[in-house]
Amino acid sequence: MTTTGSKLLIGATVMAVVAAVVYGVIVGGALGTIGLSSAAMGLALLAGVNVYTRDADVSSMDTQAVMAAPAAAAAPGNSMWPIGAAVGGVLLVVGFVTYPVMVVFGVVVLLAATVEWTVQAWSERASGDATFNASLRGRMAHPLEFPVLGAIGLGVVIYSFSRIMLFLSQAGGPAAFATIAALILLVGFVVAFRPTVRSGAVAGVATIALVGLVAGGVAAALEGERELHPHETTGDLGREGQCDTGEETEADENASQTVGAKANLLADIVLHEDGRLEADALGLPGGAGQLVVARNNPTNVRFVNASGEERRLVLDLGTRPAVDENGDVIEDEEVPDQRCTALANEDGNQLLNFTVTEPSASGGPYAFVVPGVDGARVEVVVP
Amino acid sequence: MVREMSAGPSRRRLAGALTALGGVTLLAACAEDAPQDTWQPAGENAQRIQDLQWWVFAIAGAVGLIVFATIAWVSVRYRDRGQPIPRQTHGRPALEIGLTVLPALILVGVAIPTIGTLMDLSRTSDTECVVNVTGQQWWWEVDYPPQEGCGGFSEPIVTSGQMVIPTGTKVLVRGTSRDVIHSWWIPRLNGKRDMVPGRVQTVRLQADRPGIYAGQCTEFCGLSHANMRMEVVALDPADFETWKANQLADYTAPMEGSLAAAGEQVFISQCATCHQVDGLVNADGVPIIAQPQERVFAGAAPNLTNLTTRNTFAGATWDLLTPTCRDDVWNASPEEFGAAYLAGVSADCLNEVDLREWLRNAPAKKPMYADPEQLGPTDGLNRGMPYLALSEAQIDQIIAYLLERQ
């Protein structure tokens, strides 16, 4: 029997002889020819020793020994991992000049291919028993492969679900997933009550469902998300100078009418039934027409609506320069600078959080007002 | 024999060391200059805490002594002398129930007056005067909102480092913070209270006698936490009215051509971006409004309108007065204290050494995040006062200008 190692040495000897001849004839350098001839002799010696001591120690008549000899072991099968490593390498290189995310993918693929290739190559040479080698590979690789593949599979399913849900309309989403849930229930019912259903059929249905889910996810991802409507807030009203509106806005819908942040409050701003607006500050009870607020400090006040009608509290900070869609200041154009609460129901409370950056002496006068209620005003002093 | 001979000196050394440690600890309690001593209450609120903690401490001490004495007695009495192991028993219901009920009763006995004291100390309904404090790295801003209390305030007053209050008045401190959590504590007047951004916390204060009551931030708040101090200055009501009038006095511009006038220009160019001086105007007569939010992470810097009516600067870390003049104020009798404090800082009494060092290079004197290369997390804004590269001549001019801020 001739082992792979012996074959390698014999081949290398032949190559060295050929190289020595070619070099000697074409180049004609004595030193190179001597060197290559010496290499050929050395390799030939090693090949001879290898064949004699390792390959030839099994009698061809001893069939069991011949079968157990390493030379009798089946040659390793073809491996796909070099292709995987090549793909990873290409992604890595291309990523350097295109998108950084490709570099990450390239590194991951290259690492995975290298590890798998190494484990495969090692396990296939572990013994002459291919079955044992396969189990050895499993013991090495499965603890790594199963969690990673499970996570990837789960990620694909979740991502597909999310793409489909974001693609479907607000009404279509619940309908589609209610239908899918009903189908899953139906299949489960059939499998439970028909034990004779073949496992292959169940696996086939599950595979079709999974492929359909992933295909749907890919299609939905390519199609893009539906248009999502950002909910308007009272902050938007202030930015747009719309705090004075007397109508209910989207920001007012479903607004809670209670304030739980009692310990955070600097003052209650109370609108009385007769239209008076007063500040009931911590430690200064009794209602005042003035409230002092620290500069550059986030401040919370509670609007208490005791007027019997829906009202909102507005902090009027004068005007500020208008800005365009890009945030650039529009010259010679001012807009109201306001902060406001959501509409407070009768006997409802609303919270207002604000920060004033300019003292009232330069940016003021500032005041809390209530649109629609003449004379309802609390002066805000910012030292 | 050898063992016994070596154990003797060893025990004596240990006993000597313990005695020395106990003696030093005991003597430390005799320190005369201890302005932040919680055992020397100077007002109604601190007295409530004192009244509670004395007998709670006595009970806790008695329990501790009994426990330690019992452990010591058992350790000696039943130490291993080679005797046989005694018979093991299990379960003594009367003893176990007794040792459960007795501590529970003690805790209930402590809890009832503790809760009563806590409720008293958190009451706001009897407030006679409101003062706001706002913490930021590493100083306290103090402002007085318009109110009828404290003899009446027609307009707000903003100051820093020292809070001035009238004696015998129930003051409610409303506190918050602009950046991180700080804690406000004047040990001789009340307990401590964390000042949290976005929240308004309250502390009751009342000082019985005129004087200065020192305090310290007690919540770690960054590099110069240990240098974040504060003082409450209690003046009798008449002196308090004088102090208010001083704070609300119109701005007095320096005499033309004087050193202080040059200092005013340096102040405008170097300091007024962050520090407000009420009444200061530019060359066109337009009031100068500081914009600290453009330079400082907290968005605020001390108002220097009446700097030299105070006795401290840089977060009350250093005295504006020389040690001699400081002692004159701190040690003044209650009758003389008001006049001593209201005299402010004169040229003779100015602690020029520390003030110059501060103006020369503030971050070198008080640790602050002022390295321009390390301001990434704050978008380039300083925490504290930066290095301004002032010349010695400019420092002379600024000091002359600030001395007139009375």
Alpha-helical regions (H) of chain A = 4-26, 30-50, 63-68, 81-97, 100-124, 130-167, 172-193, 199-223, 234-239, 360-363
Contact B299 A357 (CB under 8 A): yes
Distance from CA of B290 to the nearest CA of A (A): 9
Q: A198-248, pLDDT tens digit by residue?
A: 888 889 999 999 999 999 999 999 999 988 888 888 888 888 888 888 788
Residues of chain B with pLDDT under 70: 1-8, 370, 372
Q: Other CB atoms closer than 10 Å to residue A317's CB: what's the count?
A: 23
Q: Does A294 touch chain B (CB under 8 A)?
A: yes
Q: Does A265 touch chain B (CB under 8 A)?
A: yes
The per-residue pLDDT for A171 is 87
| Alpha-carbon distances, residue B13 vs A111, B1, B23 (angstroms) | 66, 19, 15
Residues from chain A that touch B141, judged by Cβ atoms under 8 A, are 294
| Structural contact between residues A298 and A355, judged by C-beta atoms closer than 8 angstroms | yes
Closest partner residue to B198 among A294, A298, A383, by Cβ? A298
Q: Which of A35, A55, A72 is the last residue of a domain?
A: A72
CA trace torsion B153, B197, B292, A339 (10° rounding):
-80
Q: Where are the domains of chain B?
A: 259-403
In angstroms, the CA B340 to CA B330 distance is 9
CATH assignment at residue A258: 2.60.40.420
Pairing assessment for the beta strands A299-305 and A265-271 based on DSSP bridges = parallel
Beta-carbon contacts of residue B251 (< 8 Å; ≥ 6 apart): B277, B278, B279, B280, B305
Mutate to test the interface with B, among A268, A290, A292, A378 (most CBs of B within 10 A): A292
How big is the A-B interface in CB pairs under 8 Å? 75
| Structural contact between residues B240 and B215, judged by C-beta atoms closer than 8 angstroms | no
**Closest CA in chain A for residue B204:** A283
Closest partner residue to B132 among A265, A294, A300, by Cβ? A294
Contact B287 A361 (CB under 8 A): yes
Structural domain boundaries enclosing A262: 248-381
The per-residue pLDDT for B1 is 44
Lookup: tokens for A228: 């999502």
Distance from CA of B170 to the nearest CA of A (A): 11
The per-residue pLDDT for A237 is 86
Q: Residue A374 falls within a domain, yes or no? A: yes
Lookup: tokens for B85: 């192991």
Residues from chain B that touch A300, judged by Cβ atoms under 8 A, are 198, 200
Q: Residue A331 falls within a domain, yes or no? A: yes
Q: Does B182 touch chain A (CB under 8 A)?
A: no
Q: Residue A33 falls within a domain, yes or no? A: yes
Strands (E) located in B99-220? 129-136, 139-144, 157-160, 162-166, 171-177, 182-184, 193-195, 201-205, 211-216
Interface of B with A in 196-215 (CB under 8 A): 197-202
Q: Which of A32, A50, A72 is the last residue of a domain?
A: A72
Contact B158 A383 (CB under 8 A): yes
Residues from chain A that touch B176, judged by Cβ atoms under 8 A, are 294, 297
DSSP H/E element including B107: helix B93-121
**The residue type at B296:** V
Contact B287 A362 (CB under 8 A): yes
| Structural contact between residues B333 and B377, judged by C-beta atoms closer than 8 angstroms | no
Contact A264 B130 (CB under 8 A): no
Q: Does A381 touch chain B (CB under 8 A)?
A: yes
DSSP H/E element including A287: strand A284-288
Q: Which CATH class is domain B259-403?
A: mainly alpha
Q: Does B293 touch chain A (CB under 8 A)?
A: yes
Q: Does B64 touch chain A (CB under 8 A)?
A: no
Q: Does B289 touch chain A (CB under 8 A)?
A: yes
Contact B202 A292 (CB under 8 A): no
Interface of B with A in 102-141 (CB under 8 A): 124-125, 127, 130, 132, 134, 141
Residues from chain B that touch A263, judged by Cβ atoms under 8 A, are 199-201
Q: Does B169 touch chain A (CB under 8 A)?
A: no
**Closest CA in chain A for residue B130:** A283
Residues from chain A that touch B127, judged by Cβ atoms under 8 A, are 283-284
In angstroms, the CA A141 to CA A135 distance is 10
Q: How many domains does chain A have?
A: 2
Q: Which of A72, A92, A121 is the last residue of a domain?
A: A72
Contact B300 A381 (CB under 8 A): no
| Structural contact between residues A168 and A224, judged by C-beta atoms closer than 8 angstroms | no
Residues of chain A with pLDDT under 50: none
Contact A294 B141 (CB under 8 A): yes
SS (H, E, C) A95-148: HHHCCHHHHHHHHHHHHHHHHHHHHHHHHHCCCCCHHHHHHHHHHHHHHHHHHH
The per-residue pLDDT for A229 is 81
Q: Residue A120 falls within a domain, yes or no? A: no
